[in-house]
Amino acid sequence: MAEVFQDYESEVVTRLTYYLGKEYSARFPDLQVVTDDLITRPSKWPTVWCRAIQNVERDRDLEADRINGVMSTFQIEVYDNASQENAKDVGNSVTAIMKSMAFDGIQLPEKDTVSGVWRVIGRYRRYIAADDAL
């Protein structure tokens, strides 16, 4: 049975941490993936902020006593203090990792949040049925 409160977030964060670390260990040794409450000026750069924002139940049957599937949505933001290009590069890698888990992406316009901090924002969603693996 799928769960609306199932912890897909930790699985996603584990994969992001592993694959981003592998890809950027030389270029961005301080890169971190966090799930804490959103902060405007992270302590390390680049910072990838990941949060599961909703799981919506889908495909109910007449028995209605279990969850057959959920539409799961994540918001992931990449912050960098050097350039928008850095944030975009890491954001593209995030999208590739999310695609490897079959998530669909929506990339929101990049925004310069505060002076000297660049970020890109992506939302990713996927239908996850009861017996699916990420």
Partner 1 sequence: MASGLKSRILYREHTASTTGWAGTWNMLIRPKTLPSPMGERNQIDVSTLEDEQEVTEPGRRASVTMSVQGAMEKEYLDDIDELADKKLDFLVLYGTEGLGSIAKYGFSGFADVAPDEADADEHLTMTVNIAVSTVPEKITDEITVTTTDNKTFTVAAAG
User: Please, which residue, 8 or 28, has the CB nearer to partner 1?
Assistant: 8
> Minimum distance from CB of 132 to partner 1 (Å)?
9
Structure-token pair, residue 109:
């316009």
- Torsion angle, alpha carbons of 93, 103, 128, 132, to 10: -60
> Minimum distance from CB of 67 to partner 1 (Å)?
10
> Minimum distance from CB of 14 to partner 1 (Å)?
24
Residue where the block lists tokens 């990792």:
97
Binding site for partner 1 (CB under 8 A): 58-65, 68-69, 71, 102, 127, 129-130
Which phi and psi (to 5°) does residue 26 adopt? -85, -45
> Minimum distance from CB of 122 to partner 1 (Å)?
19
Spatial separation of the C-alpha atoms in residues 10 and 71, rounded to whole Å: 17
Q: How would DSSP label each residue in 59-78?
A: ---SS-SS--EEEEEEEEEE
User: Please, which residue, 41 or 60, has the CB nearer to partner 1?
Assistant: 60
User: Please, which residue, 36 or 65, has the CB nearer to partner 1?
Assistant: 65
Strands 69-80 and 32-34: unpaired
User: Please, which residue, 36 or 61, has the CB nearer to partner 1?
Assistant: 61
